[in-house]
């Protein structure tokens, strides 16, 4: 299959910043590279929005979506209340089931709740308005709350497991294959 995996923000925009200094853009660029490497190891074609540690601006990343069977962009959520938490995936209705599967796998890995409708946020019901990446057919993964120190630490401890969960969700193993 052909996948596009991109990292939110970048090109000088750090995205959300944790009290402890970690930035959304850097964490999600690292996660993107790990997910892409795992998908390639499974035999898939993967386009990313930049070489290792590089993170193109959104307008350039958008061009990679129509070339892919599935396109995801990785973000972290943030809120003024540091106890807010959980994972959600924003998409158009036709990608609802994939959105929910991704959210559930990440929720299981990080032991955090799913938000929205079973992990899925319908873009039309989102307070974020119309996201270019979603309108172009992609899924936005809000992996966890970077503003929640407990979730951030758990993510840092388990980021390899999160990458594995995302890659396996996008490319389910062929059970029974030899």
- Which residues of this protein are in contact with Zn ion, per CB under 5 A? 8, 15, 75
Q: Taking Cα atoms as reference points, which of 126, 118, 2, 133 lies closest to residue 58? A: 133
- Least distance between Zn ion and beta carbon 4 (Å): 17
6/109 with CB nearer Zn ion = 6
- Least distance between Zn ion and beta carbon 37 (Å): 22
75/96 with CB nearer Zn ion = 75
75/104 with CB nearer Zn ion = 75
- Least distance between Zn ion and beta carbon 57 (Å): 13
Q: Which residues of 71-84 are buried (b: 16+ CB within 10 A; e: fewer)?
A: bbbbbbbbeeebee
Residue nearest to Zn ion (CB): 75
Q: Which residues of 13-49 are buried (b: 16+ CB within 10 A; e: fewer)?
A: eebbebeeebbbbbbbbbbbbbbbebbeebebebbbb
- Least distance between Zn ion and beta carbon 73 (Å): 8
38/75 with CB nearer Zn ion = 75
């Amino acid at each position: 299959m052909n996948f596009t995996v991109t990292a939110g923000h970048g090109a000088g925009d750090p995205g959300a910043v944790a009290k402890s200094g970690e930035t959304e853009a850097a964490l999600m660029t690292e996660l993107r590279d790990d997910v892409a490497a795992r998908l390639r190891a499974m035999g898939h074609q993967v386009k990313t929005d930049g070489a290792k540690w590089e993170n193109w601006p959104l307008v350039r990343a958008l061009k990679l979506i129509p070339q892919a069977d599935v396109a995801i962009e990785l973000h972290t959520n943030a809120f003024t209340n540091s106890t807010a938490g959980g994972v959600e995936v924003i998409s158009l209705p036709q990608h609802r089931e994939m959105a929910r599967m991704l959210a559930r796998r990440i929720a299981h890995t990080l032991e955090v709740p799913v938000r929205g409708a079973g992990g899925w946020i319908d873009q039309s019901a989102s307070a974020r308005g119309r996201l270019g990446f979603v309108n172009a057919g992609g899924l936005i993964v809000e992996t966890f709350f970077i503003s929640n120190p407990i979730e951030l630490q758990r993510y840092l401890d388990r980021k390899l497991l999160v990458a594995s969960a995302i890659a396996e969700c996008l490319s389910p193993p062929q059970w029974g294959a030899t």
